[in-house]
Structure 1
Amino acid sequence: MRFITGKAGRTAAVATAAVAALALAGCSSSEAEPEGSPTGAAGTTEETTAAVEPGTYGDFAVQLSWIKNEEFSGEFFADANGYYTDAGFASVSLTPGPSTGAAELLSGTADVALSDAVSIGSAVAAEEAPLKIIGTTYQKNPFTVLSLADGGNIATVDDMVGKKIGVQASNTSLFEALLAANGLTADDVTIVPVEYDPAPLTNGEVDGFIAYLTNESITVEAAGYDTVNLPFADNGLPFVAETITVTDQSIAENRDALKAFLYAEILGWTDAVNDPAEGARLAYEVYGADLGLDPANSEAGAIAQAEDLVVSEETVANGLFTISDELQASTLASLAGAGIELEASDLFDLSLLAEVYEEHPELIAYAG
């Protein structure tokens, strides 16, 4: 049985890329063309735009962490419904990954990267890369140990003991951190090197497989398998993902543009949370039309992320993309478990987001 290659494992080590990118800092911006807006795209957000002239901030380049699937439905809404334009951008290009975004940010080919705390934290800790997370799309990371009910049936951490777990090379330290957070070590399991296609799981070669709740878990279940998930975020390893990441230089020199981007992003993700089916349609019919995305799987992924990953008690109280002090602390603790030692000020700068919400408090009430 054939699966679309999964995305678990995108948190590849970026130290080498960061070194190369530091040498290229200041190069030209991305050459990727912005996507066109689909006809009749429906948004649910009332029109509230920043008071700036069209094109004030010129062209803006965004490096996506993965292919143009439903994971970026908020960005698709922001583009399709004109929120980027209304916020003052001449154009916003959405360049597909897979990529952690660190190299693109440091080389100047991207203004913003959608990444994760592990990848960015690795670059900051290993190479003192001047990067900061200024907000996060996912309040919970979507990593999971995926298994089959009639196979490994891994429902608890203790169920992993003695089992064969398929782990991508880039996720080895992260998986070891999950073990450590639960009092286990690599000696308690058999780590089997795998790629991103979950075929080794469905073929019975491994008992568990490192996956994404919004990707491989859905595709494997849709293929007719009874699946079981052990989410990292609920088992001692919570950290933020799909982080909005920029350079320190950009914060210093392009603060207004970054705030305008956050403003448009909040509008786009408000639509995505309130209408995940439309966000999925934008992925499989428009922005990712050439990828052969399965509409049912795309919609299931869009609903799962909208309900389980993007929103939380924190976002209800303070708005989308916010990262509470508690979530910052738990993220840093998770990174420490993977050998990445950082302080909050090394990794986060949430002052821009705070200013956006101070200037536009109506954005906090995103629930439709």
Structure 2
Amino acid sequence: MATFDRRAFLRTTGLAGLALGLAACGDSGSPAGSSSGGGLGAVKLQLSWKKNVEFAGEYFADSKGYYKAAGFSQVELLSGGGSGTSVESGLATGRCWAGLSAPTITAPAVLQGAPLKIVGATFQKNPFAVISLSKNPIESAKDLPGKKIGVQDSNELVWNALLKANGIDEGSVTRVPFQSDPSMLTSGQLDGYVGFVTSGPVRLRMEGHDATHLLLADAGLPLVAETFTVTQETIDNERDKLKAFLTAEIKGWKDAVADPARSAELAATVYGKDQNLDVKEQTEEAKMQNELVVTPDVKANGLFTMTPELIEQNIASLAKAGLTIRAEQLFDLSVLDEIYKADPSLKKPA
């Protein structure tokens, strides 16, 4: 098993020097998103990727006026992904007030000294999966040895963690360089590839292939995703503002879960209209992602919440990825707890 190179990971995610940047940001006057004039002012939310249906809840919160009803003059949605600035770096520089990220990215920043916290998780299960064809299915981790699996360099962290979580010798699986071309799977060059369950299987099925998947979260590597990440300063000094923001987000995501078709329309024709998105495909992706957003625990406790057990599972998964961190260093779900205690009706489905 290759040792996880944390310094290399920090370089690739642009997190080197983040702690210093955040410290400087805290002393530089009003941060991005601070109120100016009446109400809560304007804030910037940095998304984890380009504008597709993955952020349907945000589109509803904006288009249906939930942000404005909460007191914000504007919540600007900034595209992420690609070679752009990470959420963690965006928080450091003041480019954004809040962001959607993942524990595998936020944890290294915190370990470098950045005062950041995850205050909620949209996806209770990370969408990473090993995608394969039903005629040659990979149904469990024990099916991996002897297979040829496509893994992008950017997904090396979760891939190595998956192997470690299941006690699989990396030499027993042939890792093949991979970008995002599913034809490598359909042509037989690969037995499977690591990708998002919300998009990979959907596209394959739309192309006439019978696809299946193994969700990493169900294969010994439970991790959340699309996590709301903010600075500790925001939690301490703008708590009511953060509550207002998360309340609007809850309302937006309740609508998104209830209406995948409208979620797809907003993504393809409004917010991501420059992304050449297909409405039918986006609708199917919305249905798929709802399974990651809504779990029995979420039905009982409310959107974005994490049980103590889920938090500990995430901490254990991060350790398998070479990231040793305590739960209280990374997560603070107290803000959400206060929101739902104040208004239990928010737990109810749309």
TM over 0.5: yes
Q: Show the counterpart of 1:129.
A: 114
- The whole-number CA distance in structure 2 between the counterparts of 1:102 and 1:205 is 36
Q: How many residue pairs align between the two structures?
A: 331
Which runs of no fewer than 5 residues in structure 1 stay unpaired?
Answer: 1-11, 32-53
Q: Does 1:350 align with 2:333?
A: yes
Q: What's the CA shift string for 1:182-219, capped at 9, x where partnerless?
A: 12121110111222333432343222110111012211
The 5 Å alignment of 1:72-87 reads: 72-87=55-70
Q: Does 1:362 align with 2:345?
A: yes
Alignment equivalent of 1:13, drawn from 2, 9, 24? 9
* Alpha-carbon contact 2:53-2:286 (below 8 Å) kept: yes
Change (3 A) 1:29 1:201: farther
- The whole-number CA distance in structure 2 between the counterparts of 1:272 and 1:170 is 29
Q: Does 1:139 align with 2:124?
A: yes
Q: Show the counterpart of 1:102.
A: 88
Query: Aligned to 1:155, what secondary structure does the other structure show?
Result: coil
* Alpha-carbon contact 2:19-2:109 (below 8 Å) kept: no
Q: State the one-letter code of the partner of 2:95.
A: T
Q: State the one-letter code of the partner of 1:342.
A: I
Q: Does 1:197 align with 2:193?
A: no
Which runs of no fewer than 5 residues in structure 2 stay unpaired?
Answer: 1-7
Q: State the one-letter code of the partner of 2:126.
A: N
Q: TM-score, normalised by structure 1?
A: 0.85
Q: Show the counterpart of 1:148.
A: 133
Change (3 A) 1:314 1:142: same
Q: State the one-letter code of the partner of 1:159.
A: D
Query: Aligned to 2:222, what secondary structure does the other structure show?
Result: coil
Higher mean alpha-carbon deviation, 342-351 vs 211-220, is at: 211-220
Q: Does 1:118 align with 2:118?
A: no
Could you tell me the percent identity over the aligned residues? 45
The 5 Å alignment of 1:1-368 reads: 13-14=9-10, 17-25=14-22, 26=25, 55-98=38-81, 100-125=86-111, 127-150=112-135, 152-306=136-290, 308-365=291-348, 367-368=349-350
- The whole-number CA distance in structure 2 between the counterparts of 1:292 and 1:169 is 26
Query: Aligned to 1:13, what secondary structure does the other structure show?
Result: helix
Q: TM-score, normalised by structure 2?
A: 0.90
* Alpha-carbon contact 1:78-1:267 (below 8 Å) kept: yes
- The whole-number CA distance in structure 1 between the counterparts of 2:38 and 2:280 is 37
* Alpha-carbon contact 1:332-1:342 (below 8 Å) kept: yes
Q: Show the counterpart of 1:3.
A: none
Kindly state the Cα deviation for residue 285 of structure 1 after the two structures are TM-superposed.
1.0
Q: Show the counterpart of 1:51.
A: none
Q: What's the CA shift string for 1:16-59, capped at 9, x where partnerless?
A: 6223444444278679xxxxxxxxxxxxxxxxxxxxxx951111
* Alpha-carbon contact 2:119-2:332 (below 8 Å) kept: yes
* Alpha-carbon contact 2:19-2:113 (below 8 Å) kept: no
Q: State the one-letter code of the partner of 1:114.
A: L
- The whole-number CA distance in structure 2 between the counterparts of 1:23 and 1:249 is 15
- The whole-number CA distance in structure 1 between the counterparts of 2:159 and 2:266 is 33
Q: What's the CA shift string for 1:319-364, capped at 9, x where partnerless?
A: 1100000100111111111111111101101111111112222101
Give the superposed CA RMSD.
Answer: 1.9
